[in-house]
């Protein structure tokens, strides 16, 4: 018996109320856990005809072997399914959230929960060690996520964990979230809409006596002492844990190696005290903000909002169950681009004027017009309840743009249905050639890839001394030349990090970087551990500057009892990545879909002073895509995993089904050359 797993997977069919329990050991450690387990279960549950609104679209809540143990940052739950936010196809995707749901699910005896079918009336699922109940939720329908949790906590005791939807999910808003507590959200993907479509308001998990077995507890304690000391910049203790600003308190958060999340900035991780609800209700509210909600003045396309208004409106989105990231990094800059093109539509019947300063970057000055707080609240509620024009934008930016005749503007911000995130065009400053890797990962996955792959576009640049603007961490940075040598060893590719000072090298060896981080993303979200903390790529205090890149594998081995090498773990991750790709191919994915992101990267980046190329070289990128497919063992013309590769990964059943799809007339778009 392996450690880490509690042995059972709960499967609920909402259509007929049938409850089954599957054996976790039929899937692990072959598929690790977390999203690895989730993608394999999704493959088994769905078929070629399944859509996001199909009864058989399985909504899977999965955690991994380290969840419920002392492993730092392992308290995570991954949600897997066909994601309504995807465009033009709702590709299979994942969205993760932290908090107590994953551990308590395991303490109740389950490694994962599969939800299939559709209820005829609102329900919520109650799960404990001794009973499984589908209970009426008519009295919860229409409530916000906060109110729903409050009612369920009072009904079932304060020790339960809850994942629920708000009005946005109930009304199948394609960018609706699943919320747990007040600050944990499965945001990207729109899985709240899948819960709403299934008439499932909430899942309530009551922890029992089940404890996660640890194969080698003494070894785990040894590893924890080493890895905990490695996880943060050594000089971070020079920043106080809490900084009192009167109206709010800044909490220092150790979030990877990144100045903005180390507590230097005041935008993320602030705790607000008794903010009066001037626009959204009565009384006051206290609580944390986080990166996107803390930047609500951008979400609202108008600077000059007070911090309290930013907090209040961000919390409104959480209560309605709306994805702050899509509003913040998707719709706001789409609307700005519409105005730049002279096509800005009315918002809830009002003609508005946004920032006049041009491109959709951080507004530098206050606008004289735009979304007032009152209009923002009206619009957000209109979306959540599908009222008026809100019904259009409830379909997500690309579909809403199509309905409004604005598709010519939407490609400037959206790829596969998702707004900008670590792609080097908006918001995030990503140096050349880092954004070449970003483009490759964006091209070949079903959603914004940087839910799990912050490691290269964020973590790597923050170590480069020449790129650092955070003097506090200067002692923890590494000269560019040295980090290039370290990268060559980590990725097994000479030019992996090269290109900044030698632009001709920018497209060379980036396929090796992409495959390495694709696999590491699977590993982190399957064990699971926090993407923003791992991998521990670099260490300025080591001679070779290479960090503890084996850390996750050692944690896994100590908990599970395996003796895997990093190569063994990478092979398991490759298996999962190919199941994900096979799911996409079964949905109709082809090379044309991958290449569709190229147009976005032909736009100039928003960083005019940055040296090096700032627009994509199409032919070089197509050659890079060829090399990526070859390294992956995928067909160069279609982007489909070959039978040889799938059988090498013990996925013969997957290969057989894809072969049958092709025999039955499945279409595959081929390579473009410009």
The DSSP output letter for 346 is P
Whether 197 and 111 share a structural domain: yes
514 within some domain: yes
**Is a pLDDT exceeding 90 seen at residue 235?**
no
CATH of the domain at 171: 3.60.9.10
User: 375, 410, 445: which is the final residue of a domain?
Assistant: 410
CATH of the domain at 324: 1.10.569
Whether 290 and 344 share a structural domain: yes
The mean pLDDT of 298-310, rounded to a whole number, is 60
User: 165, 188, 205: which is the final residue of a domain?
Assistant: 205
Which pLDDT score, from 0 to 100, does residue 266 have? 44
User: Are 413 and 426 contacting, i.e. CB atoms less than 8 angstroms apart?
Assistant: yes
422 within some domain: no
Whether 112 and 194 share a structural domain: yes
Whether 39 and 157 share a structural domain: yes
Which pLDDT score, from 0 to 100, does residue 592 have? 97
CA 72/CA 532 separation, integer angstroms: 12
**Is a pLDDT exceeding 90 seen at residue 355?**
no
229 within some domain: no
* pLDDT tens profile 448-496: 999 889 889 988 888 898 887 654 555 678 999 999 999 999 999 999 9
Whether 310 and 443 share a structural domain: no
Confidence of residue 607 (pLDDT cuts 50, 70, 90): confident
Whether 398 and 451 share a structural domain: no
Q: Residue 59: which H helix or E strand, with range?
A: strand 59-62
* Mean pLDDT for the chain overall: 89
Backbone angles phi, psi at 41, to 5 degrees: -60, -40
- Only one residue has tokens 């220092």, namely 252
Whether 131 and 16 share a structural domain: yes
Whether 392 and 446 share a structural domain: no
Confidence of residue 35 (pLDDT cuts 50, 70, 90): very high
- Report the range of poorest mean pLDDT among 242-246, 346-350, 593-597: 242-246
580 within some domain: yes
User: 205, 238, 259: which is the final residue of a domain?
Assistant: 205
The alpha carbon of 33 is separated from its chain's Cα centroid by a whole number of angstroms, namely 17
Q: How many independent structural domains does the chain possess? A: 3
- Only one residue has tokens 């339960």, namely 160
Confidence of residue 308 (pLDDT cuts 50, 70, 90): confident
CATH of the domain at 457: 1.10.599
Which of the two residues, 417 and 325, has the higher pLDDT score? 417
CA 268/CA 33 separation, integer angstroms: 30
**Is a pLDDT exceeding 80 seen at residue 633?**
yes
Which pLDDT score, from 0 to 100, does residue 232 have? 67
Whether 555 and 633 share a structural domain: yes
Residue 288 makes CB contacts below 8 A (sequence gap 6+) with: 182, 183, 251, 269, 270, 271, 272
pLDDT above 90 as % of the chain: 70
68 within some domain: yes
Q: How far is CA 599 from CA 170, 329, 412, 572, in A?
A: 35, 18, 8, 33
243 within some domain: no
214 within some domain: no
The mean pLDDT of 170-185, rounded to a whole number, is 96
Which pLDDT score, from 0 to 100, does residue 346 have? 87
Q: How far is CA 256 from CA 35, 69, 221, 231, 378, in A?
A: 21, 21, 22, 7, 37
* pLDDT tens profile 495-544: 999 999 999 999 999 999 999 999 999 999 999 998 888 999 999 889 99
Backbone angles phi, psi at 180, to 5 degrees: -135, 125
Whether 520 and 657 share a structural domain: yes
28 within some domain: yes
Whether 523 and 602 share a structural domain: yes
The mean pLDDT of 225-234, rounded to a whole number, is 80
Domain that holds residue 383: 267-410
- Report the range of poorest mean pLDDT among 74-83, 156-165, 403-412, 417-426: 417-426
The DSSP output letter for 185 is E
Alpha helices in 198-283 (DSSP H): 217-230
Confidence of residue 376 (pLDDT cuts 50, 70, 90): confident
10 Å CB burial of residue 368 (0-12, 13-18, 19+) is: exposed
Whether 157 and 272 share a structural domain: no
Q: Residue 574: which H helix or E strand, with range?
A: helix 566-586
């Amino acid at each position: 018996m392996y450690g880490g797993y509690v042995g059972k997977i709960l499967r609920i069919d909402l259509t007929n109320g049938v409850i089954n329990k599957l054996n976790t050991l039929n899937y692990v450690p072959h598929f690790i856990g977390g999203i690895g387990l989730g993608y394999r279960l999704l493959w088994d549950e769905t078929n070629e005809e399944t859509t996001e609104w199909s009864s058989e679209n399985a909504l899977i809540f999965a955690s991994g072997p380290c969840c419920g143990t002392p492993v730092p940052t392992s308290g995570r739950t991954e949600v897997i399914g066909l994601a309504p936010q995807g465009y033009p196809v709702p590709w299979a995707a994942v969205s993760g959230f932290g908090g107590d749901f994953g551990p308590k699910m395991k303490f109740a005896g389950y490694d994962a929960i599969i939800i299939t079918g559709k209820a005829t009336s609102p329900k919520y699922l109650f799960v404990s060690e001794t009973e499984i109940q589908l209970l009426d939720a008519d009295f919860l329908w229409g409530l916000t996520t906060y109110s729903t949790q409050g009612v369920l906590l009072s009904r079932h005791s304060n020790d339960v964990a809850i994942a629920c939807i708000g009005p946005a999910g109930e009304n199948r808003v394609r960018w609706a979230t699943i919320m747990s507590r007040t600050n944990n959200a499965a945001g990207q993907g729109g899985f709240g809409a899948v819960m709403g479509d299934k008439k499932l308001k909430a899942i309530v998990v009551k922890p029992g006596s089940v404890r996660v077995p640890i194969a080698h507890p003494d070894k785990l304690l040894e590893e924890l002492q080493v890895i905990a000391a490695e996880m943060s910049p050594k000089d971070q203790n020079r920043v106080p844990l809490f900084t009192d600003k009167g109206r709010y308190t800044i909490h220092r958060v150790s979030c990877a190696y990144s100045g903005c999340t180390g507590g230097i900035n005041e935008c993320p991780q602030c705790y607000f005290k008794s903010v009066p609800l001037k626009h959204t209700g009565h009384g006051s509210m206290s609580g944390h903000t986080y990166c996107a909600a803390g930047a609500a003045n951008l979400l609202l396309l108008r600077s000059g909002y007070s911090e309290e208004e930013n907090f209040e409106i961000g919390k409104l989105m959480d209560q309605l169950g709306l994805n702050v990231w899509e509003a913040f990094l998707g719709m706001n800059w789409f609307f700005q681009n519409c105005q730049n093109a002279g096509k800005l539509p009315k918002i809830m019947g009002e003609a508005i004027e946004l920032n006049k300063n041009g491109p959709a970057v951080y507004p530098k000055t206050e606008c004289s017009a735009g979304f007032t707080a009152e209009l923002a609240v009206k619009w957000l509620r209109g979306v959540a309840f599908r009222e008026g024009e809100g019904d259009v934008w409830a379909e997500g930016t690309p579909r809403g743009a199509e309905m409004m005749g604005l598709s010519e503007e939407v490609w400037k911000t959206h790829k596969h249905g998702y707004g900008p995130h670590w792609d080097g065009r908006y918001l995030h400053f990503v140096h050349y050639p880092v954004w070449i890797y970003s483009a490759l990962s964006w091209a070949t996955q079903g959603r914004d890839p940087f839910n799990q792959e912050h490691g290269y576009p964020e973590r790597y640049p923050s170590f480069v001394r020449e790129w650092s603007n955070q003097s506090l961490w200067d002692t923890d940075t590494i000269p560019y030349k040295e980090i290039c040598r370290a990268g060559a060893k980590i990725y097994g590719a000479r030019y992996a990090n090269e290109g900044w000072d030698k632009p001709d090298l920018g497209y060379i060896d980036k396929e090796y970087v992409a495959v390495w981080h694709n696999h590491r993303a699977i590993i982190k979200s399957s064990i699971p551990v926090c993407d923003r903390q791992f991998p521990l790529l670099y260490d300025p205090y080591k001679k070779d500057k290479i960090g503890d890149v084996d850390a996750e594998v050692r944690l896994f081995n100590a908990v599970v009892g395996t003796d895997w090498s990093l190569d063994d773990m990478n092979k398991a991750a490759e298996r999962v990545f190919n199941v994900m790709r096979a799911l996409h191919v079964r949905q109709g994915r082809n090379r044309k879909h991958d290449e569709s992101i190229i147009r976005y990267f032909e736009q100039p980046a928003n960083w005019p002073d940055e040296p090096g190329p700032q627009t994509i070289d199409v032919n070089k990128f197509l050659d890079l895509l060829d090399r990526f497919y070859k390294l992956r063992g995928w067909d160069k013309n279609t982007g489909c995993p070959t039978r040889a590769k799938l059988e090498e990964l013990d996925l013969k059943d997957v290969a057989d089904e894809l072969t049958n799809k092709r025999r039955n007339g499945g279409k595959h778009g081929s390579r473009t050359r410009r």
